[in-house]
């Protein structure tokens, strides 16, 4: 068994972990990052492709929160985590949520102004920019529909850098913070799963790990650490804490943005290599409308959901794009590590209000796309009406039920909430896990509730803030 | 991948192209193997139960032996079942197959 020692052990290398590693290594700490997934060259596979699912997704993207209905979810599992597989959309945490959460969870030094300062730093370091030039057809349809209906809409910036020809490169963690962490002396160990943390009193003294080598060999490792940051995301951070015997307010209160989709057919070709950057904010914060990955495989999956024959539509797939309505949910879920089982059990309960909100979101999405020029809409609802006219949309209100709606999400948060309100949180205002002097969480788990927008910006700003605080106090 | 799962993948794959069919089967096999264990256990249990049920239907002459279209029609009926796990089983298998078949098909193929 190999033994390593480090000042700071960071578990996970996604938006939280990579930012933590870079900030602490630059702050003069000896940092070791352990990532369960492999290193994958960011240019090796096409975005949103089947090959990407095999190389970078946890469980090939085939995981689900159990409940009525089950909700499929996807996470990254590679160096860089979910930043390697997401759309790169970037949206600061809305100010009213920051103020609301500061009060509800008694979060110290948590204000729109303070977080704004950290967001400025992140945006400067990562290159957050809007798409140059005119929007592609799939995005323009959203903008056109919103303009016609008089609905508010925004073209989101993304964590992308663009060259003079307008070609964009997503600034994933493997392209940005991981190299910066390395340059500052951090060691990155990929293909290495942390089995459990080693506790002594109120301290974590290290981690027991299992590393898989490229030839298939397996090596047991113990990493001794003075400080530990768990940054495995909202599912795997609480699961690791639980496997290590830490359960207090850990894993409960999981939040997500349940999402329903549709395939929209246009009388002209649409783009398929990327996701639309326009979002409809008219119904924020409870319903967000936007566009999704829409390669041919995604189009086929979306067309199939009604159960009606779709061969004729699929033959016209180049004119079809996939869109979504995502909601802020009143429901919540739970992550529970199961003894002897590698993957945690994830459950989520939708409320009746959530189901109603999803129906409302789908109907609004339909209105928008018909106004934006779509001629045929196929909802992700078994037996759902394929809509061609506005007056047909009303049928969807009754068709979006627990039994018939096909739901998914890519935004998971809030499983180790932060704040000084000890009855409601698993960690203090800066991510230190209650009851432990040197154990911190620094990822989406800390966000007290689903933000109603892509949480990547919030994760990055909060992680940066927590690292500053850590460097100040230790 | 269990025998009934292989049969379901075969029934849902539309292309007659054998290398493509094999690639789809291989992708679905890899995805099922990589699922969270408790979900995989549930799916495997369903596959055994449904496979047994289908075998019984065939013995009773209510489902033609070796008829992929008949099995696909049976899957369509299960997709609107009142039993949640049955609906989810069919949706999952369809999603995997349709995604893989359309992503793996050579560009320009129908």
- pTM, two decimals, is 0.96
Q: How many domains does chain A have?
A: 2
pLDDT tens per residue across all 474 residues of chain A: 689 999 999 999 999 999 999 999 999 999 999 999 999 999 999 999 999 999 999 999 999 999 999 999 999 999 999 999 999 999 999 999 999 999 999 999 999 999 999 999 999 999 999 999 899 999 999 999 999 999 999 999 999 999 988 889 999 999 999 999 999 999 999 999 999 999 999 999 999 999 999 888 999 999 999 999 999 999 999 999 999 999 999 999 999 999 999 999 999 999 998 899 999 999 998 999 999 999 999 999 999 999 999 999 999 999 999 999 999 999 999 999 999 899 999 999 999 999 999 999 999 999 999 999 999 999 999 999 999 999 999 999 999 999 999 999 999 999 999 999 999 999 999 999 999 999 999 999 999 999 999 999 999 999 999 999 999 999
If asked whether residues A297 and A150 sit together in one domain, one would say yes
Pairing of strands A187-189, A31-34: parallel
ipTM of the complex in this document: 0.93
Domain assignment of residue A67, yes or no: no
Whether the upstream peptide bond of residue B70 has omega within 30° of 0, thus cis, is no
Domain assignment of residue A62, yes or no: no
Is A343 in Cβ contact with B36 (below 8 Å)? yes
If asked whether residues A398 and A360 sit together in one domain, one would say yes
Of A360, A382, A409, the domain-final residue: A409
If asked whether residues A362 and A386 sit together in one domain, one would say yes
Domain assignment of residue A6, yes or no: yes
Cβ count within 10 A of residue A312 = 8
If asked whether residues A213 and A99 sit together in one domain, one would say yes
- Asked if B86 and B78 touch (Cβ cutoff 8 Å), the reply is yes
Residue A433 has which token pair?
Answer: 């896990």
- The residue segments making up the domain with residue A29 are 2-39+78-127+172-252+414-473
| Distance from C-alpha of A213 to C-alpha of A338, rounded to nearest angstrom | 26
Mean pLDDT of B49-75: 95
Q: Does residue B110 surpass a pLDDT of 70?
A: no
If asked whether residues A366 and A453 sit together in one domain, one would say no
Closest chain B residue to A343, measured at CA: B36
If asked whether residues A404 and A362 sit together in one domain, one would say yes
- For chain B, how many helices (H) and strands (E)? 5, 0
Of A393, A409, A425, the domain-final residue: A409
Task: Determine which helix (DSSP H) or strand (DSSP E) holds B21, and give its type and residue range.
Answer: helix B18-34
If asked whether residues A209 and A263 sit together in one domain, one would say no
Burial bucket for residue A284 (CB in 10 Å: 0-12, 13-18, 19+): middle
If asked whether residues A389 and A468 sit together in one domain, one would say no
Domain assignment of residue A132, yes or no: no
If asked whether residues A241 and A316 sit together in one domain, one would say no
CATH number at residue A7: 3.50.50.60
Domain assignment of residue A397, yes or no: yes
Chain A residues near any Cβ of chain B (below 8 Å): 49-50, 54, 59-64, 68-70, 295-301, 304-305, 307, 311, 314-315, 317, 338, 341-345, 382-383, 403, 406
Q: Which residues of A are catalytic?
A: 411
Residue of B30, B87, B104 with shortest CB distance to A60? B30
Domain assignment of residue A72, yes or no: no
Interface test with A, best of B25, B31, B82 (most A CBs within 10 A): B31
Q: Any idea where the domains of chain B sit in the sequence?
A: 3-104
If asked whether residues A262 and A233 sit together in one domain, one would say no
Q: Does residue B108 surpass a pLDDT of 70?
A: no
Domain assignment of residue A69, yes or no: no
pLDDT at A352: 98
Q: Minimal CA–CA distance to A198: which of A241, A236, A231?
A: A241
If asked whether residues A404 and A469 sit together in one domain, one would say no
Chain B neighbors of A74, CB-CB under 8 A: none
Is A382 in Cβ contact with B38 (below 8 Å)? no
User: What is the distance, to the nearest Å, from the Cα of residue A294 to the centroid of all Cα atoms in its chain?
Assistant: 18
Of A387, A409, A431, the domain-final residue: A409
If asked whether residues A268 and A123 sit together in one domain, one would say no
B74 Cα to chain A: minimum distance (Å): 12
pLDDT at A166: 84
- Asked if A451 and A413 touch (Cβ cutoff 8 Å), the reply is yes
Interface test with B, best of A52, A62, A302 (most B CBs within 10 A): A62
- Asked if A386 and A308 touch (Cβ cutoff 8 Å), the reply is yes
CATH number at residue A289: 3.30.410
């Amino acid at each position: 068994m190999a033994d390593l020692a480090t000042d700071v052990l960071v578990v996970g290398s996604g938006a939280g972990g990579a930012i933590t590693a870079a900030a602490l290594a630059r702050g003069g700490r000896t940092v070791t990052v352990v990532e369960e997934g492999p290193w994958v060259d960011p240019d090796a596979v096409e975005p949103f492709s089947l090959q990407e699912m095999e190389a970078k997704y946890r469980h090939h993207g085939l995981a689900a929160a159990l409940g009525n209905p089950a909700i499929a979810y996807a996470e990254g599992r590679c160096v860089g985590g979910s930043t390697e597989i997401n759309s790169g959309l970037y949206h600061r945490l809305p100010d009213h949520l920051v103020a609301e959460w500061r009060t509800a969870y008694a979060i110290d030094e948590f204000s729109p102004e303070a977080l704004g300062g950290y967001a400025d730093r992140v945006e400067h370091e990562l290159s957050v920019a809007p798409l140059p030039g005119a929007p592609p057809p799939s995005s323009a349809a959203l903008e056109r529909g919103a303009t016609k209906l008089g609905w508010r809409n925004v073209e989101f910036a993304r964590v992308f850098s663009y060259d003079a020809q307008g070609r964009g490169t997503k600034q994933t963690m493997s392209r940005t913070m991981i190299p910066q962490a390395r340059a500052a002396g951090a060691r990155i160990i990929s293909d290495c799963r942390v089995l459990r943390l080693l506790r002594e009193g109120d301290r974590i003294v290290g981690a027991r790990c299992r590393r898989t080598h490229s030839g298939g060999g397996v090596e047991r490792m113990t990493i001794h650490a003075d400080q530990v940051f768990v940054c495995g995301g909202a599912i795997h951070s609480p699961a690791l804490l639980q496997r290590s015997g830490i359960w207090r307010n850990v894993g409960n209160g999981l939040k997500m943005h349940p999402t329903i989709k549709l395939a929209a057919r246009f009388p002209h070709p649409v783009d398929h290599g990327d996701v639309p950057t326009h979002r409809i904010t008219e119904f924020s914060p409870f319903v967000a409308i936007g566009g999704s990955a829409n390669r041919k495989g995604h189009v086929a999956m979306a067309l199939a959901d009604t159960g009606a024959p779709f061969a004729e539509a699929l033959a016209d797939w180049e004119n079809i794009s996939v869109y979504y309505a995502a909601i802020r949910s009143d429901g919540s879920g739970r992550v529970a590590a199961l003894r002897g089982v590698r993957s945690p059990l994830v459950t989520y309960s939708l409320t009746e209000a959530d189901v109603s909100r999803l129906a409302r979101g789908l109907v609004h999405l339909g209105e928008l796309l018909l106004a934006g020029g779509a001629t045929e809409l196929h909802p992700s609802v078994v037996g759902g009406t394929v809509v061609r006219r506005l007056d047909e949309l009303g049928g969807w209100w009754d068709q979006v039920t627990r039994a018939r709606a096909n739901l998914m999400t890519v935004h998971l948060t809030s499983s180790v909430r932060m704040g000084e309100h000890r009855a409601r949180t698993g960690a203090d205002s800066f991510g230190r896990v209650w009851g432990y002097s040197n154990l911190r969480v620094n990822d989406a788990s800390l966000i007290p509730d689903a933000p109603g927008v892509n949480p990547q910006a919030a994760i990055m700003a909060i992680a940066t803030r927590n690292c500053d605080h850590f460097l100040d106090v230790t | 991948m269990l025998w009934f799962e292989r049969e379901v993948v075969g029934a849902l794959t539309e292309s007659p192209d054998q290398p493509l069919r094999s690639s789809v089967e291989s992708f679905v096999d890899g995805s099922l193997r990589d699922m969270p264990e408790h979900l995989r256990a549930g799916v495997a249990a369903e596959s055994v139960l449904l496979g047994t049920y289908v075998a019984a239907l065939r013995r009773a002459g209510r489902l033609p032996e070796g008829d992929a279209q008949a099995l696909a029609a049976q899957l369509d009926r299960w997709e609107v079942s009142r039993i949640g796990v049955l609906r989810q089983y069919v949706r999952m298998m369809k999603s995997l197959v349709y995604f893989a078949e359309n992503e793996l098909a050579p560009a320009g193929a129908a």
